[in-house]
Amino acid sequence: MVQVTLMPTFVGGDMRMLSATPSWRYLVVRVDASRSPEDQMEFLGHELQHAREVAGATDVRDEAGLARLMARIGRQTGRGTFETDAAVQVSRQVRRELGQRRGEPGR
């Protein structure tokens, strides 16, 4: 599920486990509604990369499992927050592609 909603000032987006059944896992990706459309697209791409990382880790069934995965494949950036190099790369790629569409030089 993807939600565009108001978020705390310092958060552009996040991804969380919503629930799990024996055969399905449900995630929610949230993007800050107060950001520009370009920023929203960047955050969406970033968070969808995290969802892809979870999809590849079938042992992740809850928030604790999500935190273990992120600690294993990424780094902790704050209390209960993590970052992965792959998601950072996706953010940069989205920004480059948005800039190319507007005719801006690559970053």
Could you report the per-residue pLDDT of 22-73, keeping only the tens digit for each?
999 999 999 999 999 999 999 999 999 999 999 999 999 999 999 999 999 9
Is residue 107 a part of any domain in this protein? no
Q: Judge whether residue 106 has pLDDT over 60.
A: no
Is residue 19 a part of any domain in this protein? yes
Is residue 51 a part of any domain in this protein? yes
Predicted pLDDT at 79: 87
Q: Please choose, from the candidates 72, 80, 91, the residue with its C-alpha nearest in 3D space to the C-alpha of residue 16.
A: 80
Total domains present in the chain: 1
Is residue 69 a part of any domain in this protein? yes
Q: Judge whether residue 107 has pLDDT over 80.
A: no
Let me know: does 46 contact 90? Beta carbons within 8 Å.
yes
Domain span including residue 32? 2-101
Do strands 13-20 and 2-5 pair parallel, antiparallel, or not at all (unpaired)? Answer: unpaired
Is residue 106 a part of any domain in this protein? no
Is residue 23 a part of any domain in this protein? yes
Predicted pLDDT at 101: 79
Q: Please choose, from the candidates 10, 43, 8, 9, the residue with its C-alpha nearest in 3D space to the C-alpha of residue 29.
A: 43
Q: Tell me how crowded residue 38 is: count the other CB atoms within 10 A of its CB.
A: 14
Is residue 42 a part of any domain in this protein? yes
Q: Please choose, from the candidates 14, 103, 97, the residue with its C-alpha nearest in 3D space to the C-alpha of residue 63.
A: 14
